[in-house]
Each structure stands twice: as C-alpha cells, then as structure tokens.
Amino acid sequence: MRQHVNPLSNVFNYVEPLPPLEEIFDNHTMPLHLDVGCGAGDFLINLANHNKNWNYMGVEIREKLVNKSKLKLKNKSIDNLFFAFGNAEYLIEDCIGKFPVNALSSVSFNFPDPWFKKKHHKRRIIQPQLIQKISRLMANGGFISIKTDVEELFEYMDMTIIDSKFFIPYRYQDSEILNSYNPINLKTNRENYVSEKKLKVFEILYKKI
C-alpha cells in the first residue's frame, strides 16, 4: 500500500493561487462542486462529461495525480472541470475573497486518507478550520458529503462536521438527487474497489443551515 502524503509537511505550505472563477470555467454561473482529494480524476471527468449543468473542481495533494488528471482532459471538450494541485485547506482558503460569496454548492470527501494513529489525526483532511472555511464559501442549503470504509474515521469526520454547527445530517428529498452534483450516483475508484471487496461504506450527507 502506498504511503500517504503528509499534508502538514512544509512543502505544502504554498499553493499556486487559483485564477478567478470566470477565468476557470466557460460558464462560471453554474453551480460549483468541489471534490477534495480527487485522486486520479476519473470520477470528476466522468461526472463533468455527463452533467454539463454543473462546474466541477478537484483538488489533490499528489502533483503527479493532478498532472495525470489534466492529461486525461486533453483532447476532450470538457470545459466544466478544473483540477488544482495542493493542500485542500490552503486552496480553499485561497478561494475566500476571490470566488463569489456562496460560490460552492456542494463539497465531497470520498475515502479520505485515514491516518489511523492518534498522533496523526491532525493530518486528516477534515478539521474544524477546514469546515469553517468551506462554510464561508457556501450558502445555506449547500451540501457536504462524506464517504469512507473506515468506521472510526467516519465517526471522527461526522463529529467534526456536526460540532461546527454549520451543518446538519440530511437526506435528499424527492427529486433533489437529480439536481445534485452526482445525479447518476457515480462511484469513485476507491469506492469501486471497496465494493468489489464487499467492504462496508459509511456515508452521510449534510446540509448547511
């Protein structure tokens, strides 16, 4: 199994500033979904290709994966998807004040690195300050979704999001899923692997209040 990248390492303190939203997307007025730790990019490429009514942004701390994702986009006419390299926390911070208020419609955390040891929990991507930063970019009614196959990580993420007081657990009502960022319920690479192994997936959706 590959070693996780330590997001607290000094090499990730700097992120290349993001361009303004109107320079990133052809139609920057469409709802924007952010996938945190987007891995090799396939999930977002398939989603963006299928769902032309949304813009998608993937952030990933492994530069090689971001470069591969960008390569996969070449020669495809997908203008509603953007990949950014860096620590998600600093990239999200960079959006504050640059992107319009309420720019984010939804955010997903799919199978984040678990960092099992207690002394490494601070390397986990979901932290109180990250949830606070996301909430500054999101209107009430926006969504966060989390998925993992690690129960203990699920409980940790759930507690952090609930404790923020910005979000409550939620279930899509009626046709809401059809208008969501993932109307076809597409799975990520990790989720496909987990399904093949018949492992349990812990998942929950939150709504900003």
Distances in whole angstroms, Cα of residue 205 to Cα of each of 45, 141, 157, 158: 22, 12, 12, 10
- Which tokens belong to 163? 């404790």
Beta bridge partners of 55: 32
Asked whether position 149 contacts ligand SAM by CB under 6 A, the answer is no
> Which residue number, 172 or 193, has a Cβ lying nearer to ligand SAM?
193
Nearer to ligand SAM, 21 or 91 (CB): 91
Interaction between residue 37 and ligand SAM (CB under 6 A): yes
One residue of 60, 83, 146, 182 binding ligand SAM per CB under 6 A: 60
Q: Which two tokens stand for residue 17?
A: 């500033």
Q: CB of 42: closest distance to ligand SAM in angstroms?
A: 8
SS3 at position 191: helix
- Residue 145 within binding range of ligand SAM, rule CB under 6 A: no
Q: What is the 3-state secondary structure (H, E, C) of 69-96?
A: HHHHHCCCCCCCEEEEECCHHHHHHHHC
Query: Is 164 in contact with 128 (CB distance < 8 Å)?
Result: yes
Site for ligand SAM in 71-130 (CB under 6 A): 87-88, 110-113, 125
39 binds ligand SAM (CB under 6 A): yes
Residues forming the active site: 113
- Nearest approach, Cβ of 56 to ligand SAM (angstroms)? 13
DSSP 119: G
- Region of 24-32, 33-41, 47-55, 170-178 interacting with ligand SAM (CB under 6 A): 33-41
**Closest residue by Cα to residue 157 from 131, 179, 183:** 131
Which residues lie near ligand SAM (CB under 6 A)? 5, 7, 37-39, 59-62, 65, 87-88, 110-113, 125, 188-191
